[in-house]
A and B are shown apart, each in its own frame.
Chain A
Amino acid sequence: MKIIVAIKQVPARDSQLRIAPSGLWIEEADLSWEINEPDAYALEAGLQLKEKHGGEVVVLCAGPARAASTIREALAKGADRAIHIEEEIGSLDPLASARLLAASVKDESADLILTGLQSDDLGYGQTGVILAELLGLPHATIVMEVEKVADGIRVKRELEDGWFQHVEMPLPALLTIQSGISKLRYATLMGIKKSKTKEIRRVTAEALGVAVTPAGMAFERIYLPERTKRTQLFEGNPREAAAQLVEKLKFEARVI
């Protein structure tokens, strides 16, 4: 099975974010970066399918030069090779991003394309589904399990309120993978060593013949949200803060 896993590099969780003077994106300098967590689970699902059924795992990533570190980590975990679309994608809308991804994989003839259900930065939860549409593939979202069956795959989808559903579809197909569905592997020393000789094919939007411009939506401005509630904050010494909080809960909110 030839599996493509689309991954994204995003600011590390718990990053302190500042808005850029343009008001259209964040200040990227001084941030540390990591793989988008749901994509890490998509990669894990891809690696497990390869271990079971053989084949190849190709990592696909759009992002500037810094994204190479995230791609290397994926190769160290066991992906066979990578395609790096070296472009600043920042606040790009999901249709424009998906067009880049589609152009770079249309000649790969993969059996399965996997990606995380959403990104921790823009959080649209759309790029995978749009990619499927652009490539003419059937898809399923929020997938917990993937099983190969005679004429395709059978997946377990998560629905709301504790419900699940099995869905069958032919290959090739695209799946967006739910976070937390398995334990993530660590790269081994051997894996890290091997990753240095694995192929990373670098492409640009120009070479793909795709514009890196908004396809249908752009931010008018971004900003830190105003607090809708006035939070009473207690800071400083934990004991004093705890005592103040208990006082408020008892006499103001009257909930204890």
Chain B
Amino acid sequence: MSILAVLEQRDGNWNRMSFETLAAAQQLARDLGTAAAAAVLGHGVAGLASEIASSELDKVYAVDHELLKDYTADAYTLALGQLLEKVRPRIVLFPHTYQVRDFLPKLAAALGKVAVSDVVAARVAGDALIVVRQLFQGKVNADIRLAGEGPHFASLQAGAWRADRVAAGAATVENFSPAIAADAIRTKPLELFRESQRALDLSAAEIIVSVGRGIKEADNIPVVQKLAEALGAELAASRPICDAGWLPMERQVGSSGQTVAPKLYVAVGISGAIQHQVGMKGSRTIVAINKDPDAPIFEIADYGIVGDLFQVVPELTEAIRKAK
């Protein structure tokens, strides 16, 4: 057994990134000439496990325990530690979700290992797997070699593999009941809640003008507001702008905000850190306006203007008004 994909569910609903991880595990197993398996943790997960069993996998582990019903880092680490001891995979893949970020470093450290978090690509080199992750908010890439004895752990960035590439097949489901003592769980998770109903659905917008730190202060927001009006676009923002209260939280695009894929996305003064990119990189046409030619946003932009947004945006607004 060589690659294990650990999938994520909550209250019986899949986290859609699980299927990206599944597709990655299948692909890398093919490239490495080995087999892939999957695991799902929770309570009463037999149904979910059998859904996954129609994929090209050796086995699906339904890791079931009543203390896995509500996520805790302690219970998940214990359960996975026991599963790994039994299955002994060489490579263990996870979706890079908030939940995985909460327990994977602990699980790996408990085994004296380091997980490679937020992986964007992987390739096979001989017997080893080279994984790629980003440093410095996406400005630099790093290659890391996973060689030798496992288990090697990696979490995969949203969108780095395609969920629709999961290959069909037939796997057997195996139930696994970990031993978890109630007093081993030190945290007490309470109900999930939302602060307010989200009034604005940015995903319906055809054109979005999005603003980032480059705007410098709240009083400058009208500069991009006018561009949005000229384009008939919704105004959105990266996280720091909403944190500062310059635009409401419901206009935030990125991993902690909304995911959008309009036909035109204009990023103004946004450097394009990973957390922002995952929320907008599916846009059909991406325009970036930024003073830093090395800003990661230019890696995914179709068109870009390198320059001072306070000079460029008013000119662009004017040019769009004329062109319409």
**Chain A binding site: helix, strand, loop or mixed by DSSP?**
mixed
CA A34 to CA B76, docked complex, whole Å: 36
Q: Are A235 and B305 in contact (CB under 8 A)?
A: yes
Q: Are A243 and B319 in contact (CB under 8 A)?
A: yes
Q: Does B323 lie at the interface of the complex (its beta carbon under 8 Å from any beta carbon of A)? A: yes
Q: Does B127 lie at the interface of the complex (its beta carbon under 8 Å from any beta carbon of A)? A: no
Q: Are A249 and B112 in contact (CB under 8 A)?
A: no
Residues of B with C-beta under 8 A to A186: none
Of A44-52, A66-74, A81-89, A134-142, the one with at least 4 CB within 8 A of chain B: A134-142
Q: Does A159 lie at the interface of the complex (its beta carbon under 8 Å from any beta carbon of B)? A: yes
Of B21-29, B56-64, B114-122, B171-179, the one with at least 4 CB within 8 A of chain A: B114-122
Shortest Cβ gap from A245 to chain B (Å): 6
Shortest Cβ gap from B194 to chain A (Å): 5
Q: Are B74 and A138 in contact (CB under 8 A)?
A: yes
Q: Are A125 and B106 in contact (CB under 8 A)?
A: no
Name the residue on B nearest A253 (C-beta): B285
Q: Are B117 and A222 in contact (CB under 8 A)?
A: no
Q: Does A189 lie at the interface of the complex (its beta carbon under 8 Å from any beta carbon of B)? A: no
Q: Are A222 and B140 in contact (CB under 8 A)?
A: yes
Q: Does B110 lie at the interface of the complex (its beta carbon under 8 Å from any beta carbon of A)? A: yes
Residues of A with C-beta under 8 A to B315: 238-239, 241-243
CA A17 to CA B139, docked complex, whole Å: 8
Residues of B with C-beta under 8 A to A239: 315, 319
Name the residue on B nearest A41 (C-beta): B243
Question: Which of these, B102, B141, B189, contacts A225 with CB under 8 Å?
Answer: B141
Question: Which of these, A127, A222, A228, contacts B300 with CB under 8 Å?
Answer: A228
Name the residue on A nearest B233 (C-beta): A256
Q: Does B66 lie at the interface of the complex (its beta carbon under 8 Å from any beta carbon of A)? A: no
Q: Are B114 and A215 in contact (CB under 8 A)?
A: yes
Q: Are A169 and B140 in contact (CB under 8 A)?
A: no
Binary B-proximity of A170-211 (CB < 8 A = 1, otherwise 0)? 100000000111000000000000000000000000000000
Q: How large is the interface on B (under 10, 10 to 19, 20 to 34, 35 or more residues)?
A: 35 or more
Q: Are A164 and B192 in contact (CB under 8 A)?
A: yes
Q: Does A216 lie at the interface of the complex (its beta carbon under 8 Å from any beta carbon of B)? A: yes
CA A94 to CA B112, docked complex, whole Å: 12
Q: Does B215 lie at the interface of the complex (its beta carbon under 8 Å from any beta carbon of A)? A: no
Q: Does A22 lie at the interface of the complex (its beta carbon under 8 Å from any beta carbon of B)? A: no
Question: Which of these, A16, A163, A179, A221, contacts B193 with CB under 8 Å?
Answer: A163
Q: Are B106 and A132 in contact (CB under 8 A)?
A: yes
Residues of A with C-beta under 8 A to B240: 179-180
**Chain B binding site: helix, strand, loop or mixed by DSSP?**
mixed
Most chain B beta-carbon contacts within 10 A, residue among A221, A225, A250: A225
Q: Are B102 and A129 in contact (CB under 8 A)?
A: yes
Q: Are B140 and A26 in contact (CB under 8 A)?
A: yes
Q: Are A249 and B102 in contact (CB under 8 A)?
A: no
Residues of A with C-beta under 8 A to B186: 138, 169-170
Shortest Cβ gap from B97 to chain A (Å): 7
Shortest Cβ gap from A22 to chain B (Å): 13
Residues of A with C-beta under 8 A to B301: 229, 231
Given A125-B101, A132-B106, A255-B284, A245:B303 Cβ within 8 A: yes
Q: Does B80 lie at the interface of the complex (its beta carbon under 8 Å from any beta carbon of A)? A: no
Name the residue on B nearest A159 (C-beta): B98
Q: Does B142 lie at the interface of the complex (its beta carbon under 8 Å from any beta carbon of A)? A: yes
Q: Does B50 lie at the interface of the complex (its beta carbon under 8 Å from any beta carbon of A)? A: no
Name the residue on B nearest A93 (C-beta): B114
CA A163 to CA B71, docked complex, whole Å: 14
Enumerate B243-275 residues with CB–CB distance to A below 8 Å: 243-244, 255-257, 263-264, 271, 274
Q: Are A219 and B287 in contact (CB under 8 A)?
A: no
Extra A-B contacts (16), CB below 8 Å, given A125-B101, A160-B98, A220-B142:
A17-B139, A120-B137, A123-B136, A123-B274, A133-B110, A139-B106, A164-B192, A169-B186, A169-B187, A169-B188, A179-B239, A231-B299, A233-B304, A243-B315, A249-B287, A255-B263
List the 7 closest pairs (A to B, CB-CB), nearest first: A180-B243, A216-B114, A126-B105, A138-B186, A242-B315, A129-B105, A255-B264
Chain A positions within 8 Å of B, measured between CB atoms, are 11, 13-14, 16-17, 19, 26, 93-95, 98, 120-127, 129-130, 132-134, 138-142, 158-160, 162-170, 179-181, 215-225, 227-229, 231-235, 238-239, 241-243, 245-246, 248-250, 253, 255-256
